């Protein structure tokens, strides 16, 4: 077994060569298809030993045990349950081959299952399964562990936690990425790196899925943020298919053409995955000889991660907002939901806060009568799926804190660790184990430190303990403490002095629970907003606040600009430019002033319909009527031509479906507003015809039919809509009862399309004289012809067809 520094010291600063593929090599050397590779290797140990020997001969410094799938989930498919023994035996084979000059990495691959919150396997069950495998590998004498080809960050975490809970052996973790540069679970390389290196991985990287060329950008994206060495094991190119078999055809020299790029991108450990052979490794050894490995780019890093996103904390960046809304205090609805174990509101609060600008979400479920440990675990799991924002876990109960940190698939922020000794030590161990950052709360004893100097003393004391646990200033955010100015008007000044000291003297980040400052005062937003501006100027880096407060957030954005923290005012401009161009504010090629001042009122209504301007159509109609335009002129000379123009634009593909419908809805809204005038005017109230619409029996798809109904109504047809899954007899009865001119039928599936014919046949049988028009995804013109119906491919064509049928 080897420890981190020993391993790296052994190789000094040279590149460490790993081995190549095992699976494809076993197949090339005669392993039959369909067998369990691990069990087959135990029965055919000379084959795997030969592979190990050849990789060592080729120049591998580290070889992997053939235990990729030797976990309880996979081996049980082959009826095996003695996991430890199998792993130990395979590790022993590798150790014997390695001798003294090569190291052996115990290989842990994915289980093939998804772990909660992304799958159904309980997180702790997964940890236990990996422990079982790791124990076997350690028993077999492996020098280090490699957790590889992971496509789910939570599974990689479970495996890493398992190994670290039984040993401090050097452990590498390697993820596999799709062409989208994310794992199948949606994790990007940087977020995986942040999560895994903070969790204690000694080296992090990627393997499989892609060839060397495709892997270099992944490695490059990680390099600036790595505090540990990087690992790369690409495939021998992209697999190709020949006679139903996959093969890799990248030759060793092509494979190694990128070796220097890997090393210059920060890779320290390099080998090959699927399709690579001892020849590839030999060439890799040759092509990297003499190259010096780079040191990791960073010693420590201020960043939080979720499964899909990283938020970096950098000095002189815009104030980081930690959304405070997921907290049941004073929220009855949320209290009731949490007591029932539901998380609908939590997810809504998360969504609203991130849309309003929260970078991180504070999660607090503490209240009387709740099983906080269980509920916070549920909430954290649900948020890990539904929100990309990293989480700040806010609990006074250490056991609830641990439950949340253990299951959270990212690097979280602990809120908070104070100077209370027993709890402090417990929480610091926890933060270290799960790789969390923490908020340092400068409260040491029973008395709250009122002055900045008292707070500074406590901060120094707590940080000194944190340093002994291995934390750096980058891991810590100091709470400068906020007290109500209504009770003590010096309170805000003392807080600001603490913030200044953190920024200028101590060199750490700071945070405030801002809203406390205004407690007891009316119109609290103004106090909060003024205070945030002052605190930003003093160097505050984080605020726990309500991002839904527009005033607060706008003042924060302005203060970020004024303090040069929002470079070139990018965030500010983008926020307010977005607001200006937001829904309902603009129109194609024309601004509101133009629309109102220089365009005749009938034309304005025409434009509103063409542009789908639902928000303004009624006021424009009112203006037109007020200007003396008669309703029938408005309808016949402006509104109907407008909707026809929209139909033409749609036919020419200049408009697409949302624009067509938006215009149709604008027209409908206009019509409804004119309803009292229309009723009085015979020229307008006459209907073009009566149409009955239905989605046929057995079919539940009706959005297409709803579009047709909207468009027909706009063109002056009376529409009777029977809905979806309508029995044949109901259609016939309604058609007869309403004496309709046309029956329109819709179907999406081939199985339900046949019901159209049955309805048409039945109507003829009972002597119904109306015409039929049909449409839907699977319906064709020839099918319509075959059943004696007319066909329309979309809403625009349906209107034209209906009009022609009425002639």
Which CB, 291 or 385, lies closer to other proteins? Answer: 385
- Candidate list 368, 583, 676, 767; residue touching other proteins; CB under 8 A: 583
Residue 8 beta carbon to other proteins: minimum distance, rounded to whole angstroms? 29
Answer for the pair 221, 175: CB distance below 8 angstroms, yes or no.
no
Does the footprint of other proteins cover residue 652 (CB under 8 A)?
A: yes
Out of 521, 627, 703, 769, the residue judged to bind other proteins by CB under 8 A: 703
Nearest to 543, CA basis, from 552, 551, 470: 552
Binding mask 322-351 for other proteins (x = CB under 8 A): -----------------------------x
Contacts of 689 by beta carbon, 8 Å cutoff, 6+ apart: 717, 718, 741, 742, 802, 805, 806
For 195, 222, 303, 305, 356, the CA distances from 310, given in Å and listed in that order, are 9, 12, 7, 4, 18
Q: 748, 701 in Cβ contact below 8 A?
A: yes
**For residues 149 and 529, which CB has a smaller minimum distance to other proteins in the complex?**
149
Whichever of 78 and 469 has its CB closer to other proteins, that residue is: 78
- The residues pairing with 718 across neighbouring beta strands, listed in sequence order, are 690
Please tell me whether residue 581 binds other proteins under the rule CB under 8 A. Answer: yes
Does residue 315 touch other proteins according to CB under 8 A?
A: no
111 Cβ neighbours under 8 A, 6+ residues apart: 71, 73, 74, 121, 126, 129, 155
Q: Does residue 749 belong to the site contacting other proteins (CB under 8 A)?
A: yes
Among 661, 674, 722, 743, binds other proteins (CB under 8 A): 661
| Residue 106 bridge partners (DSSP) | 145
Binding mask 666-695 for other proteins (x = CB under 8 A): --x---------------------------
Consecutive H or E run containing 369: none
Which of 790, 654, 789, 759 is closest to 696 using CA atoms?
759
Give the C-alpha separation, 58 to 287, whole Å: 12
Task: Considering the complex, state which of residue 133 and residue 387 has its C-beta at the smaller distance from other proteins.
Answer: 387
User: Which segment (129-137, 519-527, 652-660, 799-807) binds other proteins by CB under 8 A?
Assistant: 652-660
**CA separation for the pair 634, 435 (Å, rounded):** 68
One of 71, 308, 310, 546 touching other proteins (CB under 8 A): 308
What's the CA gap between 92 and 363, in Å, rounded? Answer: 47
3-state secondary structure 296-329: CCCCCCCEEECCCCEEECCCCCCCEEEEEEECCC
Ranges within 710-729 binding other proteins (CB under 8 A): 710
Question: What does the DSSP assignment read for 506-544?
Answer: I--EEEEEGGGGGTTSSSHHHHHHHHHHHHHHHT--EEE
Among 64, 68, 313, 791, binds other proteins (CB under 8 A): 68
Of the pair 247, 519, the CB lying nearest other proteins is at 247
Using the contact rule CB under 8 A, the part of the chain among 94-102, 107-115, 502-510, 733-741 near other proteins is 107-115
Do the Cβ atoms of 436 and 405 come closer than 8 Å? Answer: yes
Q: Rounded to the nearest whole angstrom, what is the least distance from the CB of residue 442 to other proteins in the complex?
A: 38
The residue (of 331 and 701) whose beta carbon lies closer to other proteins is 701
Is the Cβ–Cβ distance between 234 and 303 less than 8 Å? Answer: no
Helix or strand holding residue 186 (H, E): none
* Nearest residue (CB) to other proteins, 209 versus 715: 209
Do the beta carbons of residue 106 and residue 117 sit within 8 Å?
no
Interface map 245-284 toward other proteins (x if CB under 8 A): xxx--------------------------x----------
Q: Are strands 303-305 and 310-312 parallel, antiparallel or unpaired?
A: antiparallel
Query: Do 366 and 396 form a contact (C-beta atoms < 8 A)?
Result: yes
The closest alpha carbon to 106, from 170, 197, 50, belongs to: 170
Pick from 6, 77, 399, 761 the residue near other proteins by CB under 8 A.
77
Tell me, residue by residue from 4 to 43, as one string, x for binding to other proteins by CB under 8 A and - for no binding: -------------------xx--x----xxxx--------
User: From CA 102, how far away is CA 87, in angstroms rounded?
Assistant: 19
CB of 755 to other proteins, least distance (A): 9
Rule CB under 8 A: is residue 548 a binding residue for other proteins? no
- Beta strand pairing status for 230-233 and 267-270? parallel
Q: Please, what is the minimum distance in Å from the beta carbon of residue 527 to other proteins? A: 33
| Cβ distance to other proteins smaller for residue 352 or 681 | 352
**Closest C-alpha among 65, 78, 73 to residue 39:** 78
Strand (E) or helix (H) holding 295? none
Member of 459, 478, 707, 789 binding other proteins (CB under 8 A): 707
Strand partners, 145: 106, 171
Output the smallest distance, CB 309 to other proteins, in A: 12
Considering only residues 584 to 603 of the shown chain, the ones binding other proteins according to CB under 8 A are: 584-589
Binding segment (CB under 8 A) for other proteins, from list 167-175, 332-340, 414-422, 743-751: 743-751
Pick from 701, 736, 757, 800 the residue near other proteins by CB under 8 A: 701
Q: How many residues bind other proteins (CB under 8 A)?
A: 81
- Joined together, the tokens standing for residue 639 give 């509104």
CB of 239 to other proteins, least distance (A): 6
Q: Which of 582, 570, 524 is nearest to 549 (CA)?
A: 524
For other proteins, the closer CB: 362 or 611: 611
C-alpha to C-alpha distance for 642 and 648, rounded to whole angstroms: 10
Give least dist CB 48 to other proteins, A.
Answer: 15
Peptide bond into 282 cis (omega under 30): no
Candidate list 244, 290, 369, 520; residue touching other proteins; CB under 8 A? 244
Q: Does 706 bind other proteins (CB under 8 A)?
A: yes
DSSP per-residue codes, 591-631: -HHHHHHTS-HHHHHHHHHHTT-HHHHHHHHHHHHHTT--H
Among 126, 132, 98, 129, smallest CA distance to 114 is for 126
How far apart, in Å, are the Cα atoms of 644 and each of 76, 609, 635, 663, 667?
66, 10, 12, 10, 11
How far is Cα 177 from Cα 655, in angstroms, rounded to an integer? 38
751 in contact with other proteins (CB under 8 A):
yes
* Percent helix, strand and coil across the chain, each to the nearest 5: 50, 15, 35
Q: Binding to other proteins by residue 149, rule CB under 8 A? A: yes
Give, as ranges, the residues between 612 and 631 that touch other proteins (CB under 8 A).
612
Q: In the complex with other proteins, which residue's Cβ is closer, 70 or 481?
A: 70
State the virtual CA torsion across 114, 248, 95, 295 in degrees, nearest 10: -80
Stretch that binds other proteins, among 116-124, 395-403, 433-441, 515-523 (CB under 8 A): 116-124
Contacts of other proteins in 162-181 (CB under 8 A) = 176, 178, 180
Out of 9, 292, 750, 786, the residue judged to bind other proteins by CB under 8 A: 750
Does residue 467 touch other proteins according to CB under 8 A? no
Site for other proteins in 190-229 (CB under 8 A): 208-209
184 or 367: whose CB is closer to other proteins?
A: 184
Q: What is the largest CA-CA distance in the chain?
A: 101
The tokens 């190291």 sit on which residue?
103
User: Binding string to other proteins for residues 379 to 398, with x set by CB under 8 A, is what?
Assistant: ------xx------------
Cβ nearer to other proteins, comparing 113 with 286: 113
The smaller minimum CB distance to other proteins, of residues 388 and 432, is found at: 388
At closest approach, how far in Å is the CB of 10 from other proteins?
A: 29
Query: From the list 91, 127, 145, 151, which residue makes contact with other proteins (rule: CB under 8 A)?
Result: 151
**According to the binding rule CB under 8 A, does residue 182 interact with other proteins?**
yes
Give min distance, CB of 621 to other proteins, in A.
17
């Amino acid at each position: 077994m080897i420890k981190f520094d020993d391993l790296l010291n052994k190789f000094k600063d040279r590149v460490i060569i790993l081995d190549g593929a095992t699976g494809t090599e076993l197949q090339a050397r005669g392993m039959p298809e369909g067998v369990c590779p691990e069990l087959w290797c135990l029965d055919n140990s000379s084959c795997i030993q030969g592979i190990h020997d050849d990789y060592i001969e080729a120049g591998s410094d580290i070889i992997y045990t053939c235990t990729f799938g030797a976990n309880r989930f996979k081996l049980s498919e082959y009826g095996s349950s003695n996991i430890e023994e199998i792993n130990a035996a395979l590790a022993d084979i590798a150790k014997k081959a390695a001798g003294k000059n090569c190291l052996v990495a115990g290989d842990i691959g994915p289980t093939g299952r998804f772990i909660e919150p992304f799958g159904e396997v309980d997180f702790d069950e997964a940890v236990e399964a990996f422990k079982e495998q790791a124990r076997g590998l350690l028993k077999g004498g492996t020098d280090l562990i490699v957790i590889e080809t992971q496509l789910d960050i939570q599974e990689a975490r479970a495996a890493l936690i398992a190994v670290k809970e039984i040993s401090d052996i050097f452990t590498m973790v390697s993820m596999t990425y799709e062409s989208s540069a994310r794992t199948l679970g949606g994790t990007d390389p940087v977020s995986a790196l942040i999560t895994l290196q903070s969790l204690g991985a000694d080296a992090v990287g990627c393997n499989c899925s892609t060839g060397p060329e495709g892997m270099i950008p992944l490695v490059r994206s990680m390099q600036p943020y790595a505090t540990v060495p990087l690992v790369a094991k690409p495939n021998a190119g992209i697999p190709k298919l020949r006679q139903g078999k996959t093969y890799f055809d990248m030759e060793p020299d092509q494979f190694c053409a990128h070796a220097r790029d890997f090393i210059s991108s920060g890779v320290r450990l390099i080998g090959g995955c699927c399709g690579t052979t001892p020849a590839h490794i030999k060439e890799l050894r040759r092509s990297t000889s003499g190259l010096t490995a780079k040191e990791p780019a960073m010693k420590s890093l201020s960043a939080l991660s979720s499964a899909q996103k990283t938020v970096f904390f950098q000095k002189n960046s815009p104030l980081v907002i930690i959304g405070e809304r997921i907290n049941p205090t004073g929220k009855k609805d949320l209290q009731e939901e949490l007591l029932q174990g539901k998380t609908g509101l939590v997810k809504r609060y998360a969504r609203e806060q991130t849309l309003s600008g929260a970078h991180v979400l504070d999660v607090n479920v503490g209240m009387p009568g709740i099983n906080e440990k269980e509920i916070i675990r549920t909430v954290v799991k649900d948020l890990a799926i539904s929100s990309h924002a990293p989480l700040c876990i806010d609990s006074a109960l250490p056991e609830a804190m641990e439950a949340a940190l253990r299951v959270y698939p990212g690097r979280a922020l602990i809120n908070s660790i104070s100077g209370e000794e027993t709890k402090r030590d417990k929480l610091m161990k926890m933060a270290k184990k799960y790789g969390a950052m923490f908020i340092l709360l400068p409260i040491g004893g029973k008395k709250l430190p009122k002055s900045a100097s008292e707070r500074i003393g406590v901060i120094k004391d707590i940080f000194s303990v944190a340093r002994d646990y291995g934390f750096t200033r980058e891991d810590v955010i100091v709470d400068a403490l906020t007290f109500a100015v209504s009770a003590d008007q010096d309170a805000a000044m003392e807080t600001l002095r603490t913030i200044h000291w953190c920024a200028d003297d101590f060199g750490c980040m700071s945070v405030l629970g801002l809203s406390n400052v205004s407690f007891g005062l009316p119109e609290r937003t103004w106090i909060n907003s003024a205070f945030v501006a002052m605190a930003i100027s003093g160097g505050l880096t984080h605020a726990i606040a309500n991002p839904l407060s527009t005033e607060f957030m706008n003042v924060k954005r302005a203060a970020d600009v004024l303090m040069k923290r929002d470079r070139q005012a990018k965030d500010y401009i983008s926020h307010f430019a977005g607001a200006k161009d937001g829904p309902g504010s603009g129109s194609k090629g024309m601004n509101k002033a133009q629309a109102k001042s220089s365009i005749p009122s009938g034309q304005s209504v025409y434009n509103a319909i063409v542009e789908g301007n639902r928000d303004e159509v009624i006021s424009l109609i009112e203006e037109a009527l007020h200007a003396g335009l008669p309703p029938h002129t408005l309808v016949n000379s402006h509104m109907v031509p407008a909707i026809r123009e929209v139909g033409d634009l749609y036919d020419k593909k200049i408009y697409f479906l949302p624009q067509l419908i938006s215009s149709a809805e604008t027209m409908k809204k206009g019509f409804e507003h004119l309803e009292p005038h229309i009723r009085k005017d015979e020229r307008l109230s006459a209907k073009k015809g009566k149409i009955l619409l239905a989605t046929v029996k057995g079919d539940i798809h009706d959005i297409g039919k709803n579009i047709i109904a909207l468009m027909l109504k706009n063109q002056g047809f009376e529409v009777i809509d029977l809905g979806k899954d309508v029995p044949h007899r109901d259609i016939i009865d309604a058609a007869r009862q309403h004496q309709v001119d046309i029956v329109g039928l819709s179907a999406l599936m081939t199985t339900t399309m046949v019901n159209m014919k049955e309805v048409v046949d039945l109507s003829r049988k009972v002597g119904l004289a109306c015409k039929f028009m049909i449409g839907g995804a699977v319906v064709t013109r020839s099918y319509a012809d075959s059943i004696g119906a007319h066909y329309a491919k979309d809403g625009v064509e349906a209107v034209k067809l209906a009009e022609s049928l009425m002639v």
